[in-house]
Amino acid sequence: MGMTMTQKILAAHAGLESVEAGQLIEASLDLVLGNDITTPVAINVMGGIDKKSVFDRDKIALVMDHFIPNKDIKSAENCKLCREFAVKHEITNYFDVGKMGIEHALLPESGLTVAGDCIIGADSHTCTYGALGAFSTGVGSTDMAAGMATGKAWFKVPSAIRFNLIGKPGKWISGKDVILHIIGKIGVDGALYKSMEFVGEGIQYLSMDDRFTIANMAIEAGGKNGIFPVDEAAVTYMKEHGSRPYTVYEADPDAVYDEEITIDLSQLKSTVSFPHLPSNTKTIPEIGEKIPVNQAVIGSCTNGRISDLRAAAEIIRGKKIADNVRCIVIPATQKIYLKALEEGLIKDFIEAGAAVSTPTCGPCLGGYMGILAAGERCISTTNRNFVGRMGHVDSEVYLASPAVAAASAVAGYITDPEGL
Amino acid sequence: MNVTGRVFKYGDNVDTDVIIPARYLNIQDKKELSEHAMEDIDKDFVKQVQKGDIMVARRNFGCGSSREHAPMVIKESGVGCVIADTFARIFFRNAINIGLPILECPDAAEHINAGDQVSVDFDTGEIKDLTTGKTFQAQPFPEFMQKIIRANGLVGYINAE
């Protein structure tokens, strides 16, 4: 029986000729990732593991990104623990303030994730690297600890849903609209335990940044991973950013899928997830009323990349953020920040009345830097709109693309660039 | 092994942000952290939960963030077992890895009510609602996962290997 792209990567990393859905395997890992929230827990867990050393100091990445620059004493203690661990084990890829970025933007940009890799990360959005044709999935701190010690992880081989993307998307339609549309269609557990494998001629119209956004939110449909074929754009990206060799895996022609869903990108409209689930989607034309917002957040591991900032700046340039709106722009990495500065985007944001922050996950998870009060509403390019996600339990988060968030920040209510 | 306790019942898509809000994730101490378990959807949970109590929920329990703090605070608060239609996959892994007993049983998740006294037999997967007299059968875990569970989590399993 043929294998899916994900199954082929897993088989290769388990040293097996073939695997099938449901099979339990132990796979070798190319990278183990943790952040400043999950790594301290993993360090404590490692204390209980007999093997005290790490399996490969070059294959562990520790990224301080959630509560940094540290928001309080407890966060500072956590980062200190990570820093000391990194020094003790001579971890090559330790990223701290000034050199860091949001993990899922930073690692591909640093060439640490390439096609064919098998990656676990103690962060649910680790599935992002599927955009490059890697198998990568989120785990918890105990898996991270075990991975750091042994270089291995257990997996149940997933079955897959095949998403056939066709057509060319409209000017303002981004990867975010594609993935919100898909989550709206299949639900927050529509791909539970499964791979989301994206194929089709429509992929050529999606930039790498669009693909990172789509793979990033596979978890929001319950998926184990999201994965794209390795085309010229992916190879170019890896050559520009990477030094590691990569391996291209392709699904077998006779691979079996649980389901095939065709998405015509040319038919998509700007899409917004209403509170309190990412699957609660409406297109801008379907909203039909003016929903005022108090805050707009443009950033995160989902949408803090350079093309996201360019899209937002194109809309905001020469305009003013609405009086009653706080607009917060967070470039996802230092490199993106610098590029945005060089391209004049930061000037556009500041002149319009937006705040620009150093890279951090910050408000996305209600950590700091943009917490909402009771009754407040935020349009956000982040990935979750659960109850209390960005602050008070009575606040609301609406998920959208950078173009929609920027247009809404200028209008003062939820709209897309066409509506300005 | 058996556990018997009173049921706390929740719906679909209980996410890890409500199980333990991110504003508390800078706290390392398990006991201090567990004082905030479920507070964004059930302020009374922490006040009422007793050792051995059972959490019952519907589809996709534990969706969202990978934070292991979520199963950790549920375990720390004394909950003896979580029963749901389905679990989000990272929560599922985390629960197995840290030794929080979980069972997938849509039938039980549908018919057990809040406040019922329920008894769970982990060896057979039998779930008994002592209040209504109904009995349910959960799917047993694959052998490999049972080994991890018997080793009291992944750390015990790795050390034994």
pLDDT category at B145 given cuts 50, 70, 90 is confident
**Pairing relation of β-strands B102-104 and B81-84?**
parallel
Peptide bond into A276 cis (omega under 30): yes
Judge: A24–B144 Cβ closer than 8 Å, yes or no.
yes
Check CB contact of B97 with chain A, cutoff 8 Å: yes
Q: Which residue of B has its CA nearest to A220?
A: B64
Q: Which domains does chain B have, with CATH numbers?
A: 2-149 (3.20.19.10)
- Looking at residue A379, its amino acid is I
Domain ranges of chain A: 5-263, 271-419
> How many interchain CB pairs under 8 A, A with B?
135
Nearest by CB to A41, from B21, B41, B68: name it.
Answer: B68
- Chain A contact set for B40 (CB, 8 A): 387-388, 393
Check CB contact of A277 with chain B, cutoff 8 Å: yes
Q: Quote the radius of gyration of chain A (alpha carbons, Å).
A: 20
Nearest by CB to A393, from B40, B86, B155: name it.
Answer: B40
Assess contact for A58 and A92: CB atoms under 8 A: yes
pLDDT by residue (tens digit) across A171-211?
999 999 999 999 999 999 999 999 999 999 999 999 999 99
Judge: A366–B17 Cβ closer than 8 Å, yes or no.
yes
pLDDT higher than threshold 80 for residue A35: yes
Check CB contact of A49 with chain B, cutoff 8 Å: yes
> What average pLDDT score do residues A375-397 get?
98
Nearest by CB to B18, from A24, A126, A386: name it.
Answer: A386
Judge: A146–B144 Cβ closer than 8 Å, yes or no.
no
Q: How far apart are CA A398 and CA A69, in angstroms?
A: 26
pLDDT at site B150 = 83
Mean pLDDT score of chain A, rounded to an integer?
A: 97
Degrees, nearest 5: CA angle A113-A110-A219: 45
* Burial grade of A44 (CB within 10 A; 0-12, 13-18, 19 or more): middle
pLDDT by residue (tens digit) across A96-117?
999 999 999 999 999 999 999 9
Whole-angstrom CA distances from B24 to A136, A265, B28, B114 are 27, 40, 9, 27
CATH architecture assigned to A5-263: 2-Layer Sandwich (3.30)
pLDDT category at A166 given cuts 50, 70, 90 is very high
pLDDT at site A68 = 96
- Chain B contact set for A138 (CB, 8 A): 66, 90
Judge: B26–A67 Cβ closer than 8 Å, yes or no.
yes
Degrees, nearest 5: CA angle A189-A195-A196: 80
Q: How far apart are CA A284 and CA A418, in angstroms?
A: 10
Check CB contact of B41 with chain A, cutoff 8 Å: yes
Multiple choice CATH, A271-419, 3.40.640.10, 3.30.465.10, 3.40.50.300, 3.30.499.10: 3.30.499.10
CA distance B155 to chain A (A): 6
Q: How far apart are CA A139 and CA A219, in angstroms?
A: 11
- Chain B contact set for A69 (CB, 8 A): none
Nearest by CB to B18, from A38, A50, A388: name it.
Answer: A388
pLDDT by residue (tens digit) across A223-281?
999 999 999 999 999 999 987 899 999 999 999 999 999 999 999 999 999 999 999 99
A32, A35, A37, A195: best to mutate for the B interface, most B CBs within 10 A: A37
Check CB contact of A40 with chain B, cutoff 8 Å: yes
- Chain A contact set for B72 (CB, 8 A): 41
Q: How far apart are CA A289 and CA A294, in angstroms?
A: 16
Give backbone dihedrals phi and psi of A134, rounded to 5 degrees, phi first.
-100, 155
Q: Which residue of A has its CA nearest to B154?
A: A142
CA-nearest of A144, A297, A125, A308 to A221 is: A125
**Pairing relation of β-strands B81-84 and B54-57?**
parallel
pLDDT by residue (tens digit) across B34-72?
999 999 999 999 999 999 999 999 999 999 999 999 999
CA distance A345 to chain B (A): 31
Query: What tokens does A274 get?
Result: 């209403």
- Chain B contact set for A142 (CB, 8 A): 68, 94, 97-98, 153-155
pLDDT category at A80 given cuts 50, 70, 90 is very high
Whole-angstrom CA distances from B74 to A9, A269, A302 are 35, 41, 29
Fold equal for A5-263 and A271-419: yes
Check CB contact of A394 with chain B, cutoff 8 Å: no
Q: Which residue of A has its CA nearest to B61?
A: A189
pLDDT at site A198 = 98
